[in-house]
């Protein structure tokens, strides 16, 4: 969505900018810089083409200016001073030029330029009056290219220590940021509701995608990531990327992983549904969805501040082991399913990730602002979040239970093949898999499930 919303009258937005300014002041001091020049970036055309992918601005800039319509713009953040935004507003009859962000004038000095070279020159001139300046963003332009260190006095390109401080602090959401994620969640839930209705009428993946976009009031360019609209066995491809134009002959299952954006902040929601058709295995698959949904809610209810997210991830694997045993997908006990690593063949991805300006927000493995890392253990190498759970974090909880041919083939050929009930597994292979994903806010009182609340509000209408 556009940042044309009247955010300057919002007390939460004012407080947000004050917090962001304070974080940048601390980060600049810790990294030994007096200022940072933050580049929005620009879209880069495809090879031998004049068309480019959808532009997404540098999140270090959109944290201040919540809009992607800012290509070539530069923000000069100086410790203890008002930021200066050098905003690019071209005179262009090929494309709609961005509106001048006058709403930001109470918070930062705004300078408009129609010529990118003059904009760069002005920004560099301002930077040269400051002792130590860092550059944050993609390397752009002649002046801000690989030789930027010659043009910016005592500067560095994307200094690790500065970025570490900024990335670590982004995990703690301001009231304004939570509001944005909440509204992005509500938009996505409206799309999910329409998508489920389309699935119930027998729609193809392509039609479901169109219904989702319409109901969530988004175009394909607006969504935070490419929606996953997977029918039947397509749900076993974790990032399934196609939209079949024709519906399958048999309707077995539907997995939708789709989000929305509001003022550059993302939501990320997944639901899985079983078809009503009497296909072999349909009742078992529906029971597995209900079981995984219940396990996910129980896990969320158990979350406390101070917990390590890695422990939550392992707790979910233990719960998955119980579900596998209760559903007779394995012959062994739930404890053995976990201890032998069998659950990892059914759930190969991490439990979740930080959520914010980016769908997979930064800082998930950091142990401190200084940049210390806590990488996930080898057996959970894809886990994106290993930090302790703390107040004001927003992250996803997204367990899954999949029937992925590649992983099950390895399990079948391995030492624990006799522990698996292959008769039931093979019956469920055409259903693809299950994922349930919610956006969760950590509060002083526990957790707030932004996704479930949005679904409840929609159902109450």
Nearest to 385 by CA among 430, 355, 343, 344: 355
Nearest to 60 by CA among 27, 93, 33, 32: 27
More confident residue, 168 or 95: 168
DSSP per-residue codes, 410-455: HHHTSTTGGGB-HHHHHHHGGG-EEE-BEEEEEETTEEEEHHHHHH
* Structure letter (DSSP) for residue 347: -
* pLDDT for the residue numbered 276: 76
Q: Tell me how far CA of residue 139 lies from CA of 62, 156, 167, in angstroms.
A: 17, 11, 19
> What domains can be seen in the chain, in order of their start residue?
7-169 (3.40.350.10), 175-460 (3.90.230.10)
pTM of the predicted protein model: 0.94
What span, in angstroms and rounded, lies between the C-alpha atoms of 401 and 111?
Answer: 52
What span, in angstroms and rounded, lies between the C-alpha atoms of 387 and 368?
Answer: 9
Both tokens of 159, joined, read 């200094």
* Structure letter (DSSP) for residue 366: B
Alpha helices per DSSP H over 255-413:
282-302, 309-326, 334-339, 342-346, 405-412
Task: Please provide the average confidence, as pLDDT, over all residues in the chain.
Answer: 93
Average pLDDT over residues 356-361: 98
Average pLDDT over residues 126-146: 76
Say if residue 153's pLDDT is above 90. no
Tokens 């930077």 identify what position?
A: 127
Average pLDDT over residues 117-144: 83
* pLDDT for the residue numbered 408: 98
Q: Tell me how far CA of residue 460 lies from CA of 199, 437, 454, in angstroms.
A: 22, 21, 10
* Cβ–Cβ under 8 Å, residues 264 and 58: no
Say if residue 105's pLDDT is above 50. yes
**pLDDT tier at 278 (50, 70, 90 boundaries)?**
confident
The H or E element containing residue 77 is: strand 74-78
Nearest to 401 by CA among 434, 424, 431, 427: 434
């Amino acid at each position: 969505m556009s940042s044309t919303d009247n955010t300057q009258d919002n007390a939460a937005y004012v407080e947000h900018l004050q917090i962001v300014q304070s974080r940048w002041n601390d980060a600049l001091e810790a990294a030994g810089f007096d200022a940072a020049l933050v580049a929005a970036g620009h879209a880069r055309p495809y090879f031998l083409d004049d068309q480019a992918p959808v532009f997404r601005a540098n999140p270090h800039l959109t944290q201040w200016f919540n809009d992607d319509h800012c290509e070539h713009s530069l923000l000069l953040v100086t410790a203890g001073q008002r930021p200066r935004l050098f905003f690019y507003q071209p005179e262009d009859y090929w494309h709609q030029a961005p509106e001048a962000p006058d709403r930001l004038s109470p918070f930062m000095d705004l300078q408009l330029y129609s010529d990118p070279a003059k904009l760069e020159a002005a920004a560099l001139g301002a930077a040269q009056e400051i002792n130590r300046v860092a550059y944050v963003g993609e390397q752009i332009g002649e002046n801000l290219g690989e030789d930027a260190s010659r043009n910016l006095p005592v500067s560095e390109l994307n200094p690790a220590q500065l970025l570490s401080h900024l990335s670590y602090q982004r995990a703690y959401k301001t009231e304004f940021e939570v509001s944005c994620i909440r509204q992005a969640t509500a938009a996505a839930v409206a799309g999910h509701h329409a998508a489920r209705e389309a699935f119930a009428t027998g729609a193809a993946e392509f039609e479901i995608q169109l219904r989702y976009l319409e109901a969530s009031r988004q175009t394909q360019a607006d969504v935070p990531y490419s929606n996953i609209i997977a029918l039947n066995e397509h749900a076993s491809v974790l990032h399934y990327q196609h939209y079949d134009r024709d519906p399958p002959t048999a309707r077995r299952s539907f997995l939708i992983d789709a989000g929305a954006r509001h003022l550059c902040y993302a939501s990320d929601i997944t639901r899985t549904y079983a078809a009503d058709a009497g296909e072999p295995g349909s009742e078992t698959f529906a029971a597995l969805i209900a079981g995984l949904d219940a396990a996910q809610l129980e896990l969320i209810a158990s979350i406390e501040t101070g917990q390590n997210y890695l422990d939550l991830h392992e707790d979910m694997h233990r719960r998955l082991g119980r579900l596998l045993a209760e559903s007779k997908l394995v012959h062994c006990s739930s404890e053995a399913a976990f201890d032998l690593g069998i659950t990892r063949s059914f759930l190969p991805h991490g439990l979740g990730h930080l959520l914010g300006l980016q769908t997979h927000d930064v800082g998930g493995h950091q142990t401190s602002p200084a940049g210390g890392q806590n990488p996930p253990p080898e057996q959970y190498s894809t886990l994106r979040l290993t930090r302790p759970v703390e107040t004001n974090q927003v992250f996803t909880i997204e367990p899954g239970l999949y029937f992925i041919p590649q992983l099950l083939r390895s399990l079948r050929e391995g030492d624990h093949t006799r522990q698996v009930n292959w008769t039931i597994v093979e019956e469920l292979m055409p259903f693809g898999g299950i994922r349930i994903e919610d956006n969760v806010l950590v509060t002083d009182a526990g957790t707030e499930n932004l996704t479930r609340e949005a679904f409840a509000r929609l159902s109450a209408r």
